[in-house]
Structure 1
Amino acid sequence: MAFGFTPKHEVEINLNGFDPKQYLAICLNTAEILKWRITYVSKSGFTAVIKKSLFSNSYEFKLVIINDLASIRCESLGSEMFDWGKNKAIVEQFTGTYENLQGIITDEEITNKLVEINGVFETEEEDALTAPPATAAENFKNFLSLFVPHPGYFVTPIIICINLAIFIAMVISGVHIIEPTGADLINWGANLRPVTLSGEWWRLISSNFLHIGVIHLLLNMYALLFIGILLEPHLGRVRYLSAYLITGVFASLVSIYWHDRTISAGAS
């Protein structure tokens, strides 16, 4: 069982003189048999994403061939810290399927696959699988991209930026960054049963963009980030935004039903 901020499992395979191109061709056929979504192919290998259902965890499989050595790595995508042996199981599933296929695949099938991917052997573009690690500046740029809307990830960064902007405005106005007072939270739109029921129903929505301190904010934005990456591409902008608002309003209603004098706020 792998453990870590990004659980993964890695193995190295010696090709023992077997032609790297043919090995790559058989590996690609193996991934297709397993119905993996191949996301990148180059002359040195490929990457694929494994996701069995909408709500299951996703995994990235990477094969890199350098000279006579093939490196295989499978790592979890998302926020799980334990993989319960799933990455190892995926690698073993791949190697087992490869061994079975290698014994029955024909030379014609290998040739057809090599013809299909011939372009990757002739391209002059940089191979992403063997490119040097990103610099600190590039990593910072990639981090900032999490806050920029783009196709498939449009609503999530906007919601995150709104939450961050409101919190920054609160702090600038004098609200305590760690432990804001109840009065400050109410002034900024938190949900409280007597106040909300007195006619200020807008608090059912405004409270979803308000947070009780920086730790509360960061934890919620971290969760929202990963949920958005996984769900928004499947639900689309409108349904994803609707789900965010509807669940937020429902949570606010539950809060004022159960709690007489408890202030509630947050995107969770």
Structure 2
Amino acid sequence: MKFARNPTPRQRLLKALTLALVVLATVMSPAVLANESKKATFSNTTTLQTILTSSHRSEQNRLRDKYRHPAQTLKFFGLRSNMTVVELWPGSGWYTEILAPFLAAKGQLIVTSFAPSTSKPALAFQALLADHPEIFGKVKVSQINPPNEITLAPDNSVDMVVTFRNIHNWVKAGYAEQVYAAAYKALKPGGILGVEEHRAKPGISLEESIKTGYMSEDGVIAAVEKAGFKFVGKSEINANPKDTKDYPGGVWTLPPSLSQGQKDRQRFLAIGESDRMTLQFVKPKAS
């Protein structure tokens, strides 16, 4: 575009806008522009299946869907898009990436975080939430400091509490009962507790559970019922009959940890992730 030697105010404005566009095109490389066009967008009609295939999830996370069956697991728990949900001990945010966009439009996701925490996993999770406000902007963080400070949400305010492969850590730390009690207080009457956990062979001792990471299914059910919950049912969605549960490094021998390094790596990859119980409980309604 050519401009006169003595441009009018309008021509000067057009020239300035043209220069700005040139600078913007120079600064934003094709790769950046491509990434901008690929940003995930969600609405109140977004399905779990759409979220699972979304570009905001890494290929590494998507590869684990065949072991973790997230859509089937969340449907078994009874998840709905208008619920208020607490995710206990979210770890690296594998399930948070799914729950946050699903609940963003009509529901609410609350995640727990240790206060204060400077561990690498905690800092990485905090960075995940901060770096992607378009996905995690509505997520609330409940600061906890177990065993004494575990307030998840106001009493009787939550529709669902979920936990994925955390109970063995709570038992080892000695505060599983306090976590169950906190979940019970936060849930509305009729609210759901969804549990996924590594499943041991029947008859395992508590000492062996702590050592291997595998928990007794009957023991977990009994402990949660002791906290006041009613056991609703279980699913074999996350069962793995290939898991022999007798490895030198416990459950961490299997993917994704592969704690034995290259030793028998292909054998453990062929087994896949652990055999897991998937349980649903409810906080009884007042009679």
TM-score by length of 1: 0.26
Greater share of helix: 1
